[in-house]
Structure 1
Amino acid sequence: MKIIVPCAGRSSRFPNMAPKWMLPDNDGLPMVFKAVQGLGANVDDFIFTILREHEERFQAQEGLRAAFGQKVNCVILDEPTRSQSETVAQTLLKSGIDEPFMVKDSDNYFEVPHLYQSYNYVCVASLSSFSQVNPQNKSYVQVDQEDVIVNFREKQVISDLFSVGGYYFSSPREFLAAYDELMGQPRLSAGELYLSEIIGYLAMQGSVFRIQRIKQYQDWGTVHEWREYLQGHRVFFISVDGFLFEQGSLFFKPGFEEVKPNPVAIETVQKLAAEGQKIFYLSIRPQELEALTKSQLAAAGLPERPLLLGCDLAQWTLLTAPHSNQPFRTSHAVEIAADDPNMAEKLAVDR
């Protein structure tokens, strides 16, 4: 099977930015790389459909190769399409695919329990499993007792099951025939044709579409959703001296080798590490105390992380710059007492 990933839109909901599928995740990898990770498929099975203007302006193919670590299959379109269905149809024609294929959205993540199947299916999740999904921009399915789709509607909440943007078709020829038939109708020939309408048409022609319930769904379809996702991760630069441990000295008591840990600060940093937040330790200690400092951090139950020694005893200032690809304030400082009993709650609100 092949997996078509349409990346040929103008990303109108991400104004003044690079195409949304290129936007970097917290670790710098593009959104589209994250979007397909949950499928567990081989890179050779993916086909990314991109615009020529993005290839010329951003060297999109080379960027994808660098992200995936090998050359990837791309179909380049000269102009944006009117719909995802048109993008898929052009991809099928240009690539000559003659095997089952999946269409996977480039702006969300999910895991499919059983990717390879002998039947058509739509990947779905239940609204009851999420608190922040916008129900107004989804498509919904109704199924019978055997999980066969009996109704599929765009932007109409007809059940709790919504499509997450994964559509598996067993026959490219059937898809193209349905696309041509529907685009020949006056109502659709000049407008947007949804994949749900193609699936509905094929179902009326006798094709059976089932559902697959997916896991670990994350939606990044709008700037707000992408921002919420990125803000779930922070980078913390944490002072060793005066915060994790009482402040020591090379010359007077307490010496760096005898400073006591601050339990509240230690516990808070342990929680940050358990959440997956990125941590760097900063210290005013000289470089020759690296072994001692690492030993003290380990003895306090703190995770091993990068340690920068030799920082001056001064007011530390982090300089960053705003960028449209990062739709949030890129830095700020928090000064808090090392024994503040509400430290964890304050940092949680701050995040």
Structure 2
Amino acid sequence: MKKTTIIIPCAGKSSRYPTVRPKFLLVNPSGNLVLIDSISKLNLKNCSLIVTILEEHNKKYGIEKMLKKIPNSPKISICILDKPTKSQAETVYKTIKLQKIDGPVFIKDCDNIFGLEQIEEKYNYVATLLLKNAGVINASNKSYALNEGEFIKTIREKEVISDTFCVGGYYFVKASDFIETFEKLNNENPKMELYVSMIIRFLIEKKGMKFKTKNVFEYLDLGTINEWLRFKSTIKTYLVDIDGVLVENSGEYSKPLWGKSKGIKENVKVIQKLYKLNNQIILITSRKESYRETTIKQLKKLDIKFHQLIMNVYHSQRILINDFSNSNPYPSALAINIPRDSKDLIKYLNLEKEWPSNER
């Protein structure tokens, strides 16, 4: 069987992401481009990747060079279109034609993340998820598949006909099936915006072709800028002082000495949970660099996990300065002052309502 070609269409105007750069070039809290994170949970075995972009975006942002510089990313081929297409389906059509793709294709939205254990199959399928497992999404803006037995009976765009919605992954065993159907529907109504779901619906209802649903895992919707900003707001960077916040205040010259003080267990639990929720934890301290190993040993004993440890921070007022923008709205930084050795970090972070006592 030929390699599956994964096509990621990025040749639209990103109208749902106004005032910022094209959505696939935005940077997630992880530091990765939205584009790279969109394929991060896919099993890419026996697959090749093609990203379709606009020439104007390539000239402005240097996308070809940018993608080549990303460390540890899969090899990505670029297909460049000279002007925007009317629809995602047209972008896919032009990509298949320009790249002379035959064999199986998997069409993947660039503005979401989901996992698939295996892409390559011997049958056509639509990647789906039950609404009850989707978290917060705009349900009215999805396409839905209605199953009859093991196959899809019909599929509808922006019409809730079942509790199974399409997450933006479509697998065709033969690229030619997509090409032929697109050409037919486009010729019948050249002004119509064609969705991939419409191509599949025609193949099912008019051609009797079989499509299955295939469940995904760890789905995250980034379809609009509000959804992306909401996602970003759930992941923060916490710069946390050690002495007086996580452990009882200590010093180099007076007892309790650095590395010997007791942990403030209530606050330690808060940091442990923040770490588990994928927040970035950066610990800062005025302890001298020569006390790094002593400090790390103390943190390990208290089971405090962190991403970075900054030593030698002045024992004085600390001021954090951060820029804000449309992609990182104001206020992009906050300061929290907590009384020395207080046990109420959760209160000062305003997490009491968000974290019920039985979940702390």
TM-score range, shorter chain: over 0.9
Secondary structure of 1:12's counterpart equals coil
Give runs of aligned pairs for residues 163-312 of structure 1, distance below 5 A.
163-185=166-188, 188-203=189-204, 204-303=206-305, 305-312=307-314
Question: Does the residue aligned with 1:331 lie in a helix, a strand or coil?
Answer: coil
> Conserved in 1, the CA contact under 8 Å of 2:130 and 2:163?
yes
State the secondary structure of the residue aligned to 1:168.
Answer: strand
Give the whole-Å Cα distance in 2 for the aligned partners of 1:123 and 1:257.
Answer: 52
Question: Is 51-60 or 249-258 further displaced after alignment?
Answer: 249-258
Residue correspondence of structure 1 range 152-163 to structure 2 within 5 A: 152-163=155-166
Amino acid at match of 2:127: C
CA 1:86–1:241: 2 relative to 1, 3 Å: same
Equivalent residue, structure 2, for 1:137: 141
Give 5+ residue unaligned stretches, structure 2: 356-360
User: In the superposition, relative to structure 1, how do residues 131 and 26 fare at CA in structure 2: closer, same or farther (>3 Å)?
Assistant: closer
Tell me if 1:33 matches 2:30: no
| Matching residue's letter, 2:177 | E
Shift of residue 294 of structure 1? 2.0
- Give distance in 1, aligned partners of 2:144 and 2:196: 12
Q: Deviation of residue 231 (structure 1)? A: 1.7
TM-score normalised over the length of structure 1: 0.92
How do 1:46-61 residues align onto structure 2 when only pairs under 5 Å count?
A: 46-61=49-64
What does the per-residue CA deviation read over 1:79-126, in whole Å, with 9 as the maximum and x for residues that have no partner?
000001110110011000011101100001111243211111111111
1:154-210 Cα deviation digits (max 9, x unpaired) = 11111111111111112222211111111111xx31120111111121121122111
- State the shift of 1:284 in Å: 1.6
Residue 341 of structure 1, CA deviation: 7.6
Q: In structure 1, how many angstroms separate the alpha carbons of the residues matched to 2:136 and 2:127?
A: 19
The answer as to 2:293 corresponding to 1:313 is no
Q: Is the 8 A contact 2:229 2:327 kept in 1?
A: no
Q: Calculate the aligned-residue CA RMSD, in Å.
A: 2.1
* Superposition deviation, residue 320 in structure 1: 0.6
Contact persistence 1:44–1:72 (CA under 8 A): no
Q: Which amino acid aligns with 1:36?
A: I
Equivalent AA in structure 2 for residue 48 of structure 1: V
Distance in 2 (alpha carbons) for counterparts of 1:340 and 1:6: 48
Q: Distance in 2 between matches of 1:275 and 1:239?
A: 20
Inter-CA distance 12–315: structure 2 relative to 1 (3 Å threshold): same
One-letter amino acid of the counterpart of residue 24, structure 1: V
Aligned to 2:154: 151
Mapped contact 2:36–2:73 kept (Cα < 8 A): no
2 CA distance for matches of 1:113 and 1:125?
14
Percent identity of equivalent pairs: 31
Distance 2:42 2:306 in 1: 32
Q: What amino acid is the match of 2:191?
A: A
Read off the aligned partner of 1:135 and give its amino acid letter. Answer: A
Structure 1 runs not aligned, ≥5 long: none
Partners of 2:117 and 2:311 in 1: CA distance: 47
- 1:80 matches 2:84: yes
- Relative to total residues, which structure has the larger helix share, 1 or 2? 1
Kindly indicate whether residue 101 of structure 2 is the aligned counterpart of residue 97 of structure 1. yes
The aligned length equals 348
Q: CA deviation at 1:282?
A: 1.0
Distance 1:170 1:339 in 2: 59
CA shift in 2, pair 1:6/1:183, >3 Å: same
Q: Residue type matched to 2:101 in 1?
A: I
Equivalent of 2:121 in 109, 117, 120: 117
